[in-house]
Amino acid sequence: MKAITFDPGRKDLKIAERPEPRITRPDEVKLRMLKVGVCGTDRERIAEGKAKPPKGFKDIVIGHENMGVVVEAGGGVTSVKAGDLAAFTIRRGCGECTPCNVGRPDMCRTGNYMDRGLSGIDGFNAEYAVDREEYVVKVPEGLGPIGVLLEPMSVVEKAIGESMRLQFARLPDALSSPDWLYGKKALVAGIGNIGLLAALALRLRGAEVYGLDIVESASVRVRWLLGIGGYYIDGRSVKPEKVDEVIGPIDMVVEAAGVPGLEFGLFDTLARDGIYVVAGIPSEEVHGGKVAVNGAELMSRLVRMNLLVFGSVSSAPGHFRAAIDDFIRAEYRWKGHLGKMITAEFDYTDFKGVLTRKDEKEIKSVIKWAA
Ligand SMILES: [Zn+2]
Ligand SMILES: [Zn+2]
């Protein structure tokens, strides 16, 4: 079968022949890939030559944001059948630690996990993919056009879900409302694909949502944000640490930009008892590593204001299911709006441009494997 492979040693990105994967166990599912999303991580790994090929290979099939149609299921599979739309989760556990052994490799403790399409296992830019049923999530027929967005949304669901559980656990008043976020101020830093999906999840929970970035107000990303009732703050005219002076203290910050200088500046915007989840991963090559901060000011603010700061990465099947629930609610409330997030679709033979550079008019570009 055809697949898009990347050889990090030679920085070689091409269409190659890979053996078509076959079902070899009763709990396996085979998908014919329909769409694979392109994200910043893919481009970064390609630019920096950093993806880690499977054992014994010099190259790796790239791509992790996926959706396909089930073409075959092993005899023991009950959650999907041939003809269903489905997506695979990304992380595969180490097999040694408790989280991995209870289906939560996103919380792996040894670090010996693998991520499909990123490190150690082939990804989904291929005609077919096979994996175990525990990693497959059925996608409702009606969400077909946006199913490829479920993986990035699952990352958002994990970050926001964890934030809510942490607030419920520590704030005496949080449990008085089933939705702590209702009427709260939330700031999303970086309105790329993940940031906009976070804004969507926060809006669905009733928060007043502000997106912070450095793009023109007329850009497609800002328009998407305004379309769900969010507000835009142009970081070129308002310094990140001054945002609270304009809109008031922020109850929840979701950092999805991965810009270290910005990340430290946002501590200043938080309200008392505020929560700050960091989901962007900075690249030293792109953003530089060193940042000057007033450590005494920062740490005493953290203590005096009961601030909670934590990082969140990857996702598990439950987060994909939460993403499906939110997409259904979003489609009901803003019909067709999620679909506008997919700003370009490319035939798989057209892979090179989209995987090596970012279009300013892009929110999410998708590679098409089949209709
Ligand atoms: Zn991604
Ligand atoms: Zn593990």
E strand segments, the chain? 2-7, 12-17, 28-38, 60-61, 65-73, 85-88, 91-92, 114-116, 120-121, 128-132, 136-139, 185-189, 208-213, 231-234, 250-255, 270-278, 308-311, 342-347, 364-368
| Cα-to-centroid distance, 149 and ligand 1 (Å) | 9
The Å distance, Cα 236 to ligand 1 centre, comes to 27
Tokens coding 349? 């033979």
Q: Six-digit token pair at 323?
A: 């993403």
Distance CA 7, CA 44 (A): 14
Count Cβ atoms within 10 A of the Cβ of residue 161 and give its class: 0-12 exposed, 13-18 middle, 19 or more buried: middle
- Grouping H, G, I as helix, E, B as strand and the rest as coil, residue 172 is coil
pLDDT in tens, the chain (371 residues): 999 999 999 999 999 999 999 999 999 999 999 999 999 999 999 999 989 999 999 999 999 999 999 999 999 999 999 999 999 999 999 999 999 999 999 999 999 999 999 999 999 999 999 999 999 999 999 999 999 999 999 999 999 999 999 999 999 988 887 789 999 999 999 999 999 999 999 999 999 999 999 999 999 999 999 999 999 999 999 998 899 999 999 999 999 999 998 999 999 999 999 999 999 998 888 888 899 999 999 999 999 999 999 999 999 999 999 999 999 999 999 999 999 999 999 999 999 999 998 888 899 999 999 98
Burial class (CB in 10 A: 0-12, 13-18, 19+), 329: middle
Q: How far is the CA of 94 from the centre of ligand 1 (A)?
A: 21
Query: How far is residue 186's CA from residue 247's CA, in Å, rounded to a whole number?
Result: 10
Rounded to the nearest whole angstrom, what is the distance from the C-alpha of residue 25 to the centroid of ligand 2?
23
Return the structure tokens found at 329: 């609610």
Report d(CA 303, CA 298) in Å as an integer.
Answer: 9
Ligand lying nearest the CA atom of residue 105: 2
- Point out the ligand nearest to the CA of residue 313: 1
Set out the domains of the chain in order of their start, with CATH numbers: 2-139+337-368 (3.90.180.10), 153-311 (3.40.50.720)
Q: Are 92 and 140 in contact (CB under 8 A)?
A: no
Ligand approaching nearest to the C-alpha of 192: 1
**Cβ contact 83:29 at 8 Å:** no
